[in-house]
Structure 1
Amino acid sequence: MATLAQAHTLGLLERIGGCTSLVAVLFVLLAYALIPKVRNPRNTFIMFACVANLGASIACIIARDGLNRGEDSSLCWAQSFLLHMFMQSDAWWSLGMSFHTFLVVFGRTDPNSLSMWRYCLVCFGGPFATAFPLFFVSDSIRGPVYGATNVWCWIRDDWASIRLFTSYLFVWTCITGSVVLNTIVGYRIFATRNKIRNFSSSRSQHSAGHDQLSSASSPAHPHGSPYATIVTQVSITRAPAAVITAPTPTHSYPTPQANRSSSQEQITHSSIITSHNVNHQTPRIIKAAKRAMTKFRLQDPIKRAYLRTTFLFTLSVLVSWIPASINRIRSLQNAAVPFPYQVAMVSVMPLQGVWNAVIFYVTSRKTLREWAWEKWGFSSLEPASIAGVATERAVEEANIGHHQDPTDSGSDVELNYILRVPVKKFK
């Protein structure tokens, strides 16, 4: 049983986390409502997850007031229902987002043909089906299911098995499914893009080979080529065997030999010897290591976008539920849960809306920046800032063709992440 000071600390942490998450969720919902360009399938999943975070944040703001009102109070029961339904709904939406990405990549489903009512039916209907019937479950020995716990009103400790099978089991099933689907999709995307890049590289080398064959008649080779050219120049200087003086003719005509020196004749012979494969080849081990490093290089914006969206969403659910799961395992082993375990749980679980808001704004920052430029223009910027913004837009526009390839589209997770930002013309 927590002391009065410990109870005050727990209640304060719950309210701080709940209020912070509530503000973050409201910003996400406001941005989604005002900016049409952010309404892609990926952000739609995050938006509905934020709706679930809205209910969980309200339950966290109630904090320990439900306990103070009593287990039989309406406030305690309302907090129990909100926590049981909306706290686990975030994990359901994470699985739904991973499943939709799997369908897009492997089933070649159009990412824009998103039937959100089906996902809402599962991701909201599943938790509701486990939370609402618990209002009516009770017996004479253990009492009702909803009631007091160590930190807030939820499923009472006397019904620990129901809490385990109707909450933690579903949450970890969703987390495991999300990790498996994200791993499969990520491997497919990385493997496909590396094959395409290797094919493009082989075509470039093939074209370069044709260029070298067409210029084979030239004795000069480009710098850095695997051929070495040896030029041998032999100069032979000889004097005439004898000098014969002939009578001067009556009419003399200039001849080509008139400009040559009469004392010596210089004959120059040049020969070109070309040797092949003078440079030593790079060891195969080094080449294999370079190819392996290239496969895992994260300079590709598509790969970075994929990692930011799918894995960050799943990671946020993991961060939220690991302390609560450790707390639950500890309570099964020993009824008295240490106070630091409770602090860790109430510090992390209310912040689900904050993690989703961070993912939303990080992955959509370019779209949000473009919307701000179009909304307010450049009137408030200095001339140097205007030039910098124009240069940045021009660079982004030029880089689109460099990064775009056939795998840049086909996933709601940001496979079409590269935005074609229009460049404003300045007069």
Structure 2
Amino acid sequence: MISPRAEVALTDGQRDALTAATRAGSTLSGLGVITIILTFSLSRHFRNPMHRLIFINAFYNAFDVVCTMISTSGPAAGNSSALCQFQGFLNQMFPVADVLWTLAMAIDVYLIVFHCYDTMALRRLEWKYMLGITLFTFIPAFVLLFINTPDKGPMYGSVTLWCAIAPKWVLFRIVIYYVPIWTSILITMGLYLVVGFEIIKRRLALQSITSDTIPLDMDDTVMPAAMATADEPYSPTEPLPPRHVLSTSHSADESLVASKYGGYSTSVTHRGRQPPAKRSSLSFRQYILMPLFFFLALLSVWVAPSTNRVGSFVDPGFGSYPLLVAVGISGSLRGFWNGLVFVTVGIKSWKRRREAEGITMRPMTGDGRGRDV
């Protein structure tokens, strides 16, 4: 028999401070969500497959912000109140969805590196991600609204900070909340480790690579000198890279490749000459670093809540106000970290792409060196 966790006894001042901290974090998350949506909608440079997944997840984050903004008002309204039950439903569904979207990004990275998925192939997966994640999180969260027993009360109830699966139902909290979350986190971590080893292996095989791109196919001839450096001109006899290169230089949703015509290095679309099959590259910053930082931010969010849950599971009388504050702040900042990663990594990738364009658009002089237009 597992005893329920005793709620932390708070003074009015502590409760007010806790409410203020969680709502401040929720405000920052709200700004993060708005930033993601506006940036994606207004700038074509923020629309690669990873940006798109973060954009979709932003709408899930918006409901999470509603949950954390309610804060201690849910418990204050009473376990059986509509506000507490609504907050409990949000708390069960959307934090789990946030973790699953991070897993979806890791799956995309794996498919890019090991199966050379292009932009269109990744887009075709989006509706499957949305359907799977929504059903996986909505069904249990909705069903729990109707569980209420005379001895334990409703499934959703006060956990001091907000309403979630009540302490008397702590085993369910572990099984249908923390187990899916940490299983997804561990799978995501495993995928990034596999991808990391593969990228290191390819970089070692092509020591001359100094650009941001990484070759995806190593089965045939080593990638042409066009992939060797971002600073050297291309040879006229070299084959073109593929039309489904994921490192783009104009719109992040278009498939563009670099070629040389009439003494100029320029970008051509898939309507041009067909390249050898399965020779492609990906932008390390856009397709690897962004989802990786997204994952690291998510990992930091779940340290405090998991520590609190493990402590209360081992010792039913466990309670720590500083840890509770950490849980409130970290749990209310999910949207903020997502927005920060989206903008900062995206801007750096955009700047590097603009710099690369400046190099490839220079005309060639008689000695084969580029000069500024």
Q: TM-score, normalised by structure 2?
A: 0.71
- Relative to 1, partners in 2 of residues 1:140 and 1:81: Cα closer, same or farther, differing over 3 Å? same
Higher mean displacement: 318-327 or 190-199: 190-199
Q: Given the alignment of the two structures, is residue 398 of structure 1 paired with residue 355 of structure 2, yes or no?
A: no
1:24 match = 32
1:356 match = 338
Query: Deviation string for 1:113-149 (max 9, x for gaps)?
Result: 2221100012222111221110111222111101111
AA of the residue aligned to 2:346? S
- Relative to 1, partners in 2 of residues 1:395 and 1:314: Cα closer, same or farther, differing over 3 Å? closer
| C-alpha contact 2:50 2:286 (8 A) present in aligned 1 | no
1-side partners of 2:178 and 2:360: how far apart?
46
Deviation of 1:110 (Å): 2.2
Query: Deviation string for 1:214-265 (max 9, x for gaps)?
Result: xxxxxxxxxxxxxxxxxxxxxxxxxxxxxxxxxxxxxxxxxxxxxxxxxxxx
Show the 5 A alignment for 1:402-417: none
Q: Given the alignment of the two structures, is residue 52 of structure 1 paired with residue 60 of structure 2, yes or no?
A: yes
Q: Given the alignment of the two structures, is residue 174 of structure 1 paired with residue 184 of structure 2, yes or no?
A: yes
1:101 match = 109
2-side partners of 1:137 and 1:29: how far apart?
36
Deviation of 1:368 (Å): 6.5
1:188 match = 198
Deviation of 1:192 (Å): 1.6
1:414 match = none
- Relative to 1, partners in 2 of residues 1:10 and 1:188: Cα closer, same or farther, differing over 3 Å? same
1-side partners of 2:283 and 2:162: how far apart?
43
| C-alpha contact 2:74 2:87 (8 A) present in aligned 1 | yes
Q: Secondary structure at the match of 1:112?
A: helix
Number of aligned residue pairs: 286
- Relative to 1, partners in 2 of residues 1:185 and 1:368: Cα closer, same or farther, differing over 3 Å? closer
Q: Given the alignment of the two structures, is residue 92 of structure 1 paired with residue 53 of structure 2, yes or no?
A: no
Q: Secondary structure at the match of 1:197?
A: coil
Q: Secondary structure at the match of 2:119?
A: coil
2-side partners of 1:306 and 1:117: how far apart?
20
2-side partners of 1:4 and 1:106: how far apart?
55
2-side partners of 1:350 and 1:29: how far apart?
19
Computing the radius of gyration from Cα coordinates, the structure with the larger value is 1
Deviation of 1:400 (Å): 9.1
CA RMSD of aligned residues (A): 2.8
| C-alpha contact 1:155 1:163 (8 A) present in aligned 2 | yes
Deviation of 1:102 (Å): 1.2
Deviation of 1:393 (Å): 5.7
Name structure 2 gaps, 5 residues minimum. Answer: 1-8, 209-221, 229-281, 363-371
| C-alpha contact 1:317 1:352 (8 A) present in aligned 2 | yes
Name structure 1 gaps, 5 residues minimum. Answer: 205-300, 371-391, 402-423
AA of the residue aligned to 1:144? P
Q: Given the alignment of the two structures, is residue 10 of structure 1 paired with residue 2 of structure 2, yes or no?
A: no
| C-alpha contact 1:24 1:354 (8 A) present in aligned 2 | yes
2:297 match = 316
1-side partners of 2:288 and 2:50: how far apart?
13
Deviation of 1:175 (Å): 0.4
2-side partners of 1:324 and 1:62: how far apart?
18
1:145 match = 155
Q: Secondary structure at the match of 2:206?
A: helix
| C-alpha contact 2:286 2:349 (8 A) present in aligned 1 | no
2-side partners of 1:62 and 1:131: how far apart?
18
Q: TM-score, normalised by structure 1?
A: 0.62
1-side partners of 2:155 and 2:196: how far apart?
41
AA of the residue aligned to 2:135? G
- Relative to 1, partners in 2 of residues 1:393 and 1:145: Cα closer, same or farther, differing over 3 Å? closer
2-side partners of 1:69 and 1:193: how far apart?
58
Query: Deviation string for 1:179-213 (max 9, x for gaps)?
Result: 100111121122123213366899x9xxxxxxxxx
1-side partners of 2:43 and 2:286: how far apart?
20
Q: Secondary structure at the match of 1:150?
A: coil
